[in-house]
Structure 1
Amino acid sequence: MKLFKLGLISCVCLSLFSCKTVNRITTNSKKAKNVILLISDGTGLSQISSAFYFQDKVSNYTRFEDIGLINTSSSQEDVTDSAAGATAFASGVKTYNGAIGLDDDFSAPKTLIEIASENGIQTGVIATSSLTHATPASFYAHAKSRGMEYEIAEFLPKSGIDFFAGGGFQFFSGRKDNLDLIAQLQANNFTVDTTSFSNYNALKSKDKLGFLLAANAMPKMQEGRGNFLAKAIEAGTEFLTKDGSNFFMMAEGSQIDWGGHNNDAAYLIAELIDFDQAIGKTLDFAEKDGNTLVIVTSDHETGGFTLASKTKTREDGSQYSDYKEIEPTFSTGGHSATLIPVFAYGPGSKNFTGIYENNELFEKILALTNWKK
């Protein structure tokens, strides 16, 4: 009987997640002029919940009314990695783990950055990792493996991106092949700053603007990164709209995932709270603008993170769970297959409610903007 029940559950799950999900778009939705996609790498519901327990401020997640769930499985694995997860968002295809902007047949579907640029939309990418890391790379590059960061970097100068901020300087300059990608960026009308984000105000009148502020990833919050992510989002929205343009921007809180991989709760929570503050800056802009769709989600969950009750020991040596105190715990050093929340605000936000596949975000965004593939 147990085997029968397990088999039945497997069949139901397979039918839910292997069949093509109906892409539900409300036809009378107001069109979005701008789209900001915020990705908190490695973040499931428990990670989000930490913003409610480990900071004194009210979490900015409470400002959303339209919430859905996505299945993040890749084309060949139940558990996705960041490359396949981000490619699903960026290009609308399920693909193999490790793929950057490629499908299972190694063809290169257009990314949201490429589509938006071809439609005359300004574009931006921000990350607390290197800009060649899996998630940001999937929005502008096409590579068979996420590990090909030097090859991925070569896509950025010709990508159509107008604003970027993050780490990864070593992939653009001082390379073993002597290829100077900073010079290529400058030839494509970029002003590139490698010293400080505080220089933004002096540079914001430039045609295209990029910040490469670390050799690889940006510092951890615990190491003094400060409010780089929120400031970059605020500057990015200002820069991309300075000529009255419409825009698409992807910003990633990359290192929440790394805290999960390390089973380091303090690292994870510090990065998550930083991302929460970045959500606040984004929603402040969207509320004032009135034409901006904000989508907040994650590529997958990392660490099997849980906010459990703290285990304590009585005088007699017996243990008990103290429900008055939380103790973050982990069940894995890798990713999990848990469903991931999607939060949406702005024009067409109700289209992101329900339960659906991660690659459907791509089609929903295109439907709500009228950008042509």
Structure 2
Amino acid sequence: MTHKSIIYLVLSLLLFNCKTHDVVKKEIPSKAKNVILLIGDGTGLSQISSAFYFKETSPNYARFKTIGLIKTSSSRQDITDSAAGATAFASGVKTYNGAIGVADDSTEVETLVEIVSPQNIKTGVISTSSIQHATPASFYAHAINRGLYEDIAADMVASDIDFFAGGGTRFFNQRKDGKNLLEDLKTKGFGINTTALDDFARIKDYSKMAYLLATTHMDSIGGNGRGDFLPKATELGIQFLSKDADHPNFFIMIEGSQIDWGGHANDANYLIAELIDFDNAIGKALDFAEKDGNTLVIVTADHETGGFTLSASTKTREDGSTYSDYSEVAGTFSTKGHSAALIPVFAYGPGAEEFAGIYENTEIFHKILEATNWSNKN
């Protein structure tokens, strides 16, 4: 064999080994061990854009590299409500507006919490509304009508949820049937605080934890409202659900509920303040995921509310005529209800690339299962 032939053979082998190594890496993508799903209720692209104009620091939305879009129509309506939208995320099925954890024919469908809990995956839900409201309820309850709050509270007690934080005390202990479900939660091992969030050190020995900090819904973020409850609860929930060395993996859903309410009220200041608060919670989730390396963070919304637009401010001249001032942005609205706009999806971590593209809202559920080692065994 000539000298040139030997060199050619060696180079060929090196190239073959490199290609083989690349193929192996591509065939075994890493799987997420934890999933943090953040839902900004009523949050469309303009709502998100407001953080880039009105937040004093860089928005956490800007930290994502993978972005997709979802179609949000429910099974019977072009424009979804929160119940049908959240059921699509939680169970992967289209259903009618007002439905919680049931299919279009009103039969119960299995939720993410019900699928992963038997696999020793810890679960939690956080909301700035009552914990029985449509979005959080869709992850642990089954009801033909989202207004059945007392039935939904009973489903919470029967569920395998490990951590929850929000409002809604009255649906546990001021019930028409006279029951006090807070006692039932204690029997299941829950620590309960109806006053404030704790430091993690005070709750780390509990197996389950419940925070019910309002009779119905939490206060708004403005004025003397709820303060930094949402980012703090996000950080605390992640710490609590990941604390057990034997079973450290978790799924948690975190909802910024009142972005939607600002849209319904056509109140731009309310909406923007709630959006910035939600963005701060996103930051807590991303901070954990970046350090952990095994956590998938998904940020999306069930629908857009208010037909919100960032338009030029309208100014009035001395003669009474008006003009658009392009140097100043203002929030305007086209409706007091929901809209049918496509909704952005942001993803970070193992499996994030699967959330790019345009797809139905039900695919969020299926993509979560694909991105993890979790599975729907039914």
State the TM-score, normalizing by the size of structure 2.
Answer: 0.90
Report how far residue 200 of structure 1 moved: 4.7
Report how far residue 42 of structure 1 moved: 0.3
Work out whether 1:276 is the aligned partner of 2:279.
yes
Give 2:203's aligned residue.
203
Report how far residue 105 of structure 1 moved: 1.0
Give 2:104's aligned residue.
104
Give 2:16's aligned residue.
none
Report how far residue 187 of structure 1 moved: 1.1
Spell out, residue by residue over 1:153-179, the C-alpha distance to the aligned partner (whole angstroms, 9 max, x if none). 001112110011110000001212111
SS in 1 for 2:85: helix
* Matched residue type, 1:236: G
CA distance in 1, matches of 2:375, 2:369: 7
**Aligned 8 A contact 2:200 2:239 in 1:** no
Give 1:324's aligned residue.
327
2:268 to 245, 265, 280: 265
Give 1:123's aligned residue.
123
CA distance in 2, matches of 1:302, 1:174: 32
Report how far residue 324 of structure 1 moved: 0.1
**Aligned 8 A contact 1:304 1:330 in 2:** yes
1:309 to 309, 312, 322: 312
Report how far residue 106 of structure 1 moved: 1.1
CA distance in 2, matches of 1:35, 1:281: 14
CA distance in 2, matches of 1:195, 1:279: 24
* Matched residue type, 2:281: A
Say what the alpha-carbon RMSD is for the aligned residues. Answer: 1.2
SS in 2 for 1:154: helix
Which stretch of the first structure deviates more once superposed, 64-73 or 178-187?
178-187
**Aligned 8 A contact 1:158 1:188 in 2:** no
Alignment of 1:1-373 (within 5 A): 28-198=28-198, 200-222=200-222, 223-244=224-245, 245-373=248-376
Report how far residue 201 of structure 1 moved: 3.2
Report how far residue 267 of structure 1 moved: 0.8
**Aligned 8 A contact 2:33 2:373 in 1:** no
SS in 2 for 1:198: coil
Give 1:18's aligned residue.
none
CA distance in 1, matches of 2:29, 2:370: 9
Report how far residue 344 of structure 1 moved: 0.1
**Aligned 8 A contact 2:143 2:152 in 1:** yes
CA distance in 2, matches of 1:27, 1:182: 49
Report how far residue 203 of structure 1 moved: 1.9
CA distance in 2, matches of 1:316, 1:268: 33
Give 2:5's aligned residue.
none
CA distance in 2, matches of 1:139, 1:53: 33
Report how far residue 132 of structure 1 moved: 0.2
Report how far residue 202 of structure 1 moved: 1.4
Which stretch of the first structure deviates more once superposed, 316-325 or 162-171?
316-325
Report how far residue 220 of structure 1 moved: 0.6
State the TM-score, normalizing by the size of structure 1.
Answer: 0.91
Report how far residue 199 of structure 1 moved: 5.5
SS in 2 for 1:128: strand
User: Which has the larger Rg?
Assistant: 2
**Aligned 8 A contact 1:119 1:372 in 2:** no
Segments of structure 1 that go 5 or more residues without pairing to the other structure are 1-25
Spell out, residue by residue over 1:244-275, the C-alpha distance to the aligned partner (whole angstroms, 9 max, x if none). 31000000000000010011111111100000
CA distance in 1, matches of 2:241, 2:320: 61
Report how far residue 205 of structure 1 moved: 1.6
SS in 2 for 1:155: helix
Give 1:4's aligned residue.
none
Identity, % of aligned positions = 65
CA distance in 1, matches of 2:201, 2:255: 22
CA distance in 1, matches of 2:199, 2:283: 23
CA distance in 2, matches of 1:200, 1:288: 18
Report how far residue 313 of structure 1 moved: 2.0
**Aligned 8 A contact 1:39 1:297 in 2:** yes
Report how far residue 35 of structure 1 moved: 0.2
* Matched residue type, 2:91: S
Report how far residue 315 of structure 1 moved: 2.6
Report how far residue 230 of structure 1 moved: 0.7
SS in 1 for 2:214: coil
CA distance in 1, matches of 2:199, 2:217: 20
CA distance in 2, matches of 1:337, 1:274: 24
* Matched residue type, 1:235: L
**Aligned 8 A contact 2:313 2:324 in 1:** yes
Report how far residue 372 of structure 1 moved: 2.3
Report how far residue 215 of structure 1 moved: 0.2
Which stretch of the first structure deviates more once superposed, 285-294 or 309-318?
309-318
Q: Displaced runs of 4+ in structure 1, greater than 6 A?
A: none
